[in-house]
Amino acid sequence: MPILTYCDANGDFREYAFSDAKPILLRAPERGAARFAAGEGQPLAVITRAKVYQVPLVVNLSGDSRVRVNGRRVVGLRVLRQGSRLQVGDLEMTFWEMTLQIVAAGSTLVGRRCPVCRLSYSVGDEVVICPRCSLPHHKECWFEHEFCSNPGCLYPIRTTLKRVLAAHGVVIEQLAANSQLVTQSMRCAAGTPSVDARPFQAGQYVAYCPNRACGAAFHLECWVSMGNCPACRKYDVSKLLRSVFTPNTPPYLGEESAEPEDAA
Protein backbone atom coordinates (compact mmCIF):
# COMPACT_ATOMS: atom_id res chain seq x y z
CA MET A 1 0.00 0.00 0.00
CA PRO A 2 1.52 3.39 -0.95
CA ILE A 3 2.26 5.81 1.87
CA LEU A 4 3.57 9.32 2.34
CA THR A 5 5.93 10.06 5.21
CA TYR A 6 6.43 13.55 6.62
CA CYS A 7 7.13 15.51 9.80
CA ASP A 8 4.25 17.34 11.46
CA ALA A 9 4.39 20.81 13.02
CA ASN A 10 5.95 19.31 16.18
CA GLY A 11 8.69 17.57 14.23
CA ASP A 12 7.18 14.10 14.79
CA PHE A 13 7.45 11.50 12.03
CA ARG A 14 4.09 10.62 10.46
CA GLU A 15 2.78 8.20 7.85
CA TYR A 16 -0.25 8.67 5.63
CA ALA A 17 -1.45 5.49 3.89
CA PHE A 18 -3.82 5.53 0.96
CA SER A 19 -5.26 3.29 -1.74
CA ASP A 20 -6.03 3.61 -5.43
CA ALA A 21 -9.72 3.73 -4.60
CA LYS A 22 -9.24 6.98 -2.67
CA PRO A 23 -6.79 9.46 -4.24
CA ILE A 24 -5.15 12.01 -1.93
CA LEU A 25 -6.23 15.62 -2.28
CA LEU A 26 -3.87 18.21 -0.83
CA ARG A 27 -5.11 21.67 0.05
CA ALA A 28 -3.24 24.79 1.12
CA PRO A 29 -4.91 27.19 3.58
CA GLU A 30 -4.07 30.90 3.50
CA ARG A 31 -1.74 30.31 6.44
CA GLY A 32 0.14 27.22 7.51
CA ALA A 33 1.19 24.04 5.78
CA ALA A 34 -0.77 22.04 3.23
CA ARG A 35 -3.23 19.49 4.55
CA PHE A 36 -4.47 16.08 3.46
CA ALA A 37 -8.00 15.45 2.15
CA ALA A 38 -10.96 17.58 3.23
CA GLY A 39 -10.64 21.01 4.78
CA GLU A 40 -10.34 24.66 3.96
CA GLY A 41 -7.98 26.07 1.41
CA GLN A 42 -7.27 25.92 -2.30
CA PRO A 43 -6.79 22.44 -3.83
CA LEU A 44 -3.15 22.33 -4.91
CA ALA A 45 -2.50 18.75 -5.96
CA VAL A 46 -3.91 15.24 -6.08
CA ILE A 47 -2.01 11.95 -5.88
CA THR A 48 -3.59 9.12 -7.85
CA ARG A 49 -2.72 6.22 -10.17
CA ALA A 50 -2.95 6.50 -13.94
CA LYS A 51 -5.62 4.24 -15.41
CA VAL A 52 -3.67 3.44 -18.58
CA TYR A 53 -0.12 2.65 -17.36
CA GLN A 54 -1.04 2.17 -13.68
CA VAL A 55 1.80 4.40 -12.47
CA PRO A 56 1.39 6.70 -9.42
CA LEU A 57 1.10 10.38 -10.32
CA VAL A 58 0.99 13.77 -8.66
CA VAL A 59 -1.21 16.22 -10.57
CA ASN A 60 -0.76 19.96 -10.09
CA LEU A 61 -4.35 21.25 -9.96
CA SER A 62 -3.62 24.94 -9.63
CA GLY A 63 -0.37 25.49 -11.54
CA ASP A 64 1.17 26.62 -8.24
CA SER A 65 4.99 26.62 -8.31
CA ARG A 66 4.99 25.17 -4.79
CA VAL A 67 4.11 21.71 -6.13
CA ARG A 68 7.47 20.02 -6.69
CA VAL A 69 8.96 16.53 -7.04
CA ASN A 70 12.65 16.08 -6.18
CA GLY A 71 13.04 19.86 -6.18
CA ARG A 72 11.60 20.37 -9.67
CA ARG A 73 8.34 22.18 -10.31
CA VAL A 74 5.45 19.98 -11.48
CA VAL A 75 3.83 21.41 -14.60
CA GLY A 76 0.71 19.36 -15.20
CA LEU A 77 1.66 15.98 -13.75
CA ARG A 78 4.68 13.92 -12.71
CA VAL A 79 5.22 10.19 -12.17
CA LEU A 80 6.15 9.29 -8.59
CA ARG A 81 8.81 6.67 -7.82
CA GLN A 82 9.93 4.90 -4.68
CA GLY A 83 11.61 7.54 -2.50
CA SER A 84 10.42 10.56 -4.53
CA ARG A 85 10.57 13.76 -2.48
CA LEU A 86 7.26 15.60 -2.85
CA GLN A 87 6.65 19.21 -1.82
CA VAL A 88 3.15 20.70 -1.78
CA GLY A 89 3.05 24.17 -0.31
CA ASP A 90 5.01 24.04 2.94
CA LEU A 91 4.49 20.30 3.40
CA GLU A 92 7.45 18.10 2.46
CA MET A 93 6.86 14.36 2.04
CA THR A 94 8.50 11.19 0.79
CA PHE A 95 6.55 8.82 -1.45
CA TRP A 96 6.79 5.06 -0.82
CA GLU A 97 5.26 2.88 -3.55
CA MET A 98 6.25 -0.45 -2.01
CA THR A 99 6.85 -0.93 1.72
CA LEU A 100 8.16 -3.72 3.92
CA GLN A 101 6.29 -4.15 7.21
CA ILE A 102 6.80 -6.23 10.34
CA VAL A 103 3.67 -7.95 11.64
CA ALA A 104 3.09 -6.60 15.13
CA ALA A 105 1.16 -8.13 18.03
CA GLY A 106 -2.52 -7.29 17.62
CA SER A 107 -2.19 -6.72 13.87
CA THR A 108 -5.19 -7.71 11.75
CA LEU A 109 -2.73 -9.72 9.64
CA VAL A 110 -2.08 -12.26 12.40
CA GLY A 111 -3.78 -15.52 11.46
CA ARG A 112 -4.49 -14.52 7.86
CA ARG A 113 -2.96 -16.71 5.15
CA CYS A 114 -0.45 -15.63 2.56
CA PRO A 115 -2.02 -16.13 -0.90
CA VAL A 116 1.19 -17.73 -2.22
CA CYS A 117 2.51 -20.14 0.44
CA ARG A 118 -0.84 -20.44 2.29
CA LEU A 119 0.91 -20.17 5.66
CA SER A 120 -0.55 -17.89 8.33
CA TYR A 121 1.12 -14.61 9.21
CA SER A 122 2.78 -14.56 12.63
CA VAL A 123 4.13 -11.76 14.81
CA GLY A 124 7.54 -10.74 13.48
CA ASP A 125 6.94 -11.86 9.89
CA GLU A 126 8.05 -9.46 7.15
CA VAL A 127 5.23 -8.70 4.72
CA VAL A 128 4.62 -6.53 1.68
CA ILE A 129 1.14 -5.19 0.98
CA CYS A 130 0.48 -4.80 -2.74
CA PRO A 131 0.49 -1.08 -3.66
CA ARG A 132 -2.33 -1.64 -6.16
CA CYS A 133 -4.82 -4.08 -4.60
CA SER A 134 -3.66 -4.07 -0.92
CA LEU A 135 -3.29 -7.87 -0.77
CA PRO A 136 -0.57 -8.82 1.79
CA HIS A 137 2.21 -11.33 1.01
CA HIS A 138 5.20 -12.70 2.88
CA LYS A 139 8.32 -10.82 1.75
CA GLU A 140 9.87 -13.87 0.07
CA CYS A 141 6.57 -14.83 -1.59
CA TRP A 142 6.10 -11.29 -2.92
CA PHE A 143 9.56 -10.83 -4.39
CA GLU A 144 9.79 -14.28 -5.97
CA HIS A 145 6.93 -13.54 -8.38
CA GLU A 146 6.84 -11.34 -11.47
CA PHE A 147 3.37 -9.99 -10.74
CA CYS A 148 1.00 -9.72 -7.76
CA SER A 149 -0.71 -13.05 -7.08
CA ASN A 150 -4.14 -11.41 -7.35
CA PRO A 151 -5.30 -12.27 -10.92
CA GLY A 152 -7.19 -9.01 -11.19
CA CYS A 153 -4.22 -6.87 -10.15
CA LEU A 154 -1.00 -7.89 -11.94
CA TYR A 155 1.14 -5.27 -10.17
CA PRO A 156 4.63 -5.52 -11.82
CA ILE A 157 6.75 -6.66 -8.86
CA ARG A 158 10.00 -7.51 -10.63
CA THR A 159 9.95 -4.49 -12.92
CA THR A 160 9.57 -2.22 -9.90
CA LEU A 161 12.16 -4.13 -7.84
CA LYS A 162 14.70 -4.01 -10.67
CA ARG A 163 14.25 -0.26 -11.17
CA VAL A 164 14.40 0.61 -7.47
CA LEU A 165 17.42 -1.56 -6.59
CA ALA A 166 19.40 -0.44 -9.65
CA ALA A 167 19.91 2.88 -7.86
CA HIS A 168 21.67 0.92 -5.08
CA GLY A 169 24.03 -0.94 -7.39
CA VAL A 170 22.03 -4.17 -7.52
CA VAL A 171 21.85 -5.83 -10.94
CA ILE A 172 18.83 -8.06 -11.60
CA GLU A 173 18.45 -9.80 -14.94
CA GLN A 174 16.41 -12.49 -16.61
CA LEU A 175 18.76 -15.15 -17.95
CA ALA A 176 18.93 -15.73 -21.70
CA ALA A 177 19.74 -19.15 -23.18
CA ASN A 178 23.24 -17.95 -24.11
CA SER A 179 24.00 -16.50 -20.68
CA GLN A 180 27.31 -17.66 -19.23
CA LEU A 181 25.53 -18.84 -16.09
CA VAL A 182 23.36 -21.14 -18.23
CA THR A 183 25.92 -22.38 -20.77
CA GLN A 184 28.48 -23.19 -18.07
CA SER A 185 25.87 -24.89 -15.83
CA MET A 186 26.68 -22.63 -12.88
CA ARG A 187 24.66 -22.87 -9.67
CA CYS A 188 23.18 -20.34 -7.26
CA ALA A 189 25.66 -19.41 -4.51
CA ALA A 190 22.95 -19.69 -1.83
CA GLY A 191 23.18 -23.47 -1.93
CA THR A 192 19.58 -24.11 -0.90
CA PRO A 193 19.10 -27.87 -1.47
CA SER A 194 15.53 -27.76 -2.76
CA VAL A 195 16.16 -24.85 -5.14
CA ASP A 196 19.84 -24.73 -6.05
CA ALA A 197 20.61 -28.38 -6.80
CA ARG A 198 20.05 -27.68 -10.49
CA PRO A 199 22.14 -25.20 -12.53
CA PHE A 200 20.69 -21.87 -13.58
CA GLN A 201 18.05 -22.11 -16.30
CA ALA A 202 17.10 -19.72 -19.09
CA GLY A 203 14.21 -17.47 -18.05
CA GLN A 204 15.13 -17.39 -14.36
CA TYR A 205 15.71 -14.06 -12.61
CA VAL A 206 19.13 -13.60 -11.05
CA ALA A 207 20.55 -10.99 -8.65
CA TYR A 208 24.27 -10.31 -8.29
CA CYS A 209 25.98 -9.37 -5.03
CA PRO A 210 26.67 -5.60 -5.19
CA ASN A 211 30.05 -6.09 -3.45
CA ARG A 212 32.47 -5.37 -6.30
CA ALA A 213 34.93 -7.88 -4.88
CA CYS A 214 32.26 -10.60 -4.98
CA GLY A 215 29.56 -10.35 -7.66
CA ALA A 216 28.18 -13.83 -6.86
CA ALA A 217 24.97 -14.81 -8.68
CA PHE A 218 21.79 -15.90 -6.88
CA HIS A 219 18.26 -16.79 -7.81
CA LEU A 220 16.28 -13.65 -7.06
CA GLU A 221 14.06 -15.53 -4.58
CA CYS A 222 17.19 -16.77 -2.76
CA TRP A 223 18.79 -13.33 -2.70
CA VAL A 224 15.83 -11.49 -1.13
CA SER A 225 15.55 -14.05 1.68
CA MET A 226 19.17 -13.98 2.88
CA GLY A 227 21.04 -11.93 5.45
CA ASN A 228 24.71 -11.48 4.59
CA CYS A 229 25.85 -12.69 1.18
CA PRO A 230 27.07 -16.30 1.76
CA ALA A 231 29.77 -15.91 -0.88
CA CYS A 232 31.65 -12.89 0.50
CA ARG A 233 29.97 -12.89 3.97
CA LYS A 234 30.11 -9.09 3.94
CA TYR A 235 27.25 -7.54 2.01
CA ASP A 236 24.09 -7.38 4.15
CA VAL A 237 21.16 -7.98 1.80
CA SER A 238 18.47 -7.83 4.49
CA LYS A 239 19.76 -4.44 5.67
CA LEU A 240 19.65 -3.11 2.11
CA LEU A 241 16.06 -4.24 1.59
CA ARG A 242 14.96 -2.73 4.91
CA SER A 243 16.57 0.61 4.05
CA VAL A 244 14.97 0.69 0.59
CA PHE A 245 11.47 -0.50 1.51
CA THR A 246 10.99 0.47 5.18
CA PRO A 247 9.98 4.10 5.77
CA ASN A 248 12.11 6.20 8.13
CA THR A 249 15.10 3.86 7.75
CA PRO A 250 18.50 5.40 6.89
CA PRO A 251 19.63 4.52 3.35
CA TYR A 252 22.10 1.64 3.12
CA LEU A 253 25.19 2.48 1.09
CA GLY A 254 26.98 -0.86 1.54
CA GLU A 255 29.51 -2.08 4.08
CA GLU A 256 32.87 -0.33 4.03
CA SER A 257 34.50 -3.73 4.58
CA ALA A 258 32.91 -4.92 1.34
CA GLU A 259 35.25 -2.73 -0.71
CA PRO A 260 38.56 -4.16 -2.00
CA GLU A 261 41.52 -3.38 0.24
CA ASP A 262 43.16 -1.27 -2.45
CA ALA A 263 40.04 0.78 -3.18
CA ALA A 264 40.57 4.52 -3.07
For residue range 98-110, what is the model confidence (pLDDT) as tens digits?
899 899 999 999 9
Q: What is the side-by-side strand order in the sheet with 126-129?
A: 100-102, 126-129, 136-138
Q: For the chain, how many residues are written?
A: 264
pLDDT class of 221 with cuts at 50, 70, 90: confident
Helices 237-245 and 157-166 pack at an angle, to 10 degrees, of 100
- Which residues, 6+ apart, have CB-to-CB distance to 184 below 8 Å? none
Give the separation between CA 139 and CA 221, rounded to whole angstroms: 10
Residue 261 has pLDDT above 70, yes or no: no
Please state the pTM of the whole predicted model: 0.76
- Give tens-digit pLDDT for 1-24: 788 888 877 888 888 887 776 778
What's the whole-number average pLDDT of the chain?
85
Q: Given a cut of 50, is residue 263 above it in pLDDT?
A: no
% pLDDT > 90, the chain: 42
